[in-house]
Structure 1
């Protein structure tokens, strides 16, 4: 649109004066006339989206009712209105050892243990080992290894896989046994894992009967105290 046409439109708009009298007269005539009757329209059906929503709700209601029926059948209660609970599964029985410290299991709480004779033991010297495995850190632990004083048994030393500074260790004869004892110092802890405690000793030449040898391990974890024990059934 060129500038000349814009100018003419602005001039015409500025010079326009509405006829107020004619406008009022038209309004009065329209108010005096009776409005024509509005034709009756047929009722409209539900909107398409409402029909879809209604069908979806019906399907969901059927599925919900079916699921409730299946669930109710699987949870049927016996006569009298009391629900029967399944009995708990009992743990496998643990065979106690016949040692001198009282019968203790090989596994208890976070602890598991085993006693064995080192394969390098010979006809003059032996090493008995106690393996303690814990699935939780321990705040207290005492391991005791008892070697029966038969066949000229005399101590030649001991060791443990945990730090030496964390334990008080001793070896002494008590009531017919050479007793090795390792006690965790206060304020120290034993980490989760497998740990070994070993006692070494000389004995008379030939095979030695280890049937009376035994061990115990007493500990404390966050869940409370636990004890394990066992024996050494190998003759060396």
Structure 2
């Protein structure tokens, strides 16, 4: 009887393989919950009319160190399209002045030269200055399309830096706020998120197994 009780005490609560399966199941549940919560928040803002979904043309945006070729008689655009712009230094800005719930923003810009970094900055309620801590880098999602993922947040202003080198001829087509996307997009992990989903549960399971091993050791005999 004593031997049976001793075996019961030393039997591990979870085997390493079971911990690994549980960790991946928990990661899947949390990921799906994140997607459903995000969908509910987005629908709420959309029904309240607080989620702008529109294309904003260049004429409706404010620019700084980023001017149309037509503004200077000495500049010669690459072709006759009136939407050619030129960055006049290495820190050009495009401003959208408004507020609303933002998940994604898309910049339409065809560069004739490598643009360097293309980034977006956003303001939160009560803020007036753009900072590096609220910065999103673009993902190229098509020819002349740069998409910024803001993750779903209420913003009170946007600033886009279309290049970071200066002197770049750019065919500027405006920006699109919250462009339409399939409903399942929020459930598809990006490259970095795939890495987290693959490795974090495994590391968590290994850590849990290590901790449990200290409690599952056989008690010393008297």
Please say whether Structure 1 and Structure 2 have the same fold, judged by a TM-score greater than 0.5: no
Identify, as 1 or 2, the structure richer in helix. 2
Highest Rg: 1 or 2?
1
TM range (shorter): 0.3 to 0.5
The TM-score with structure 2 as length reference comes to 0.33
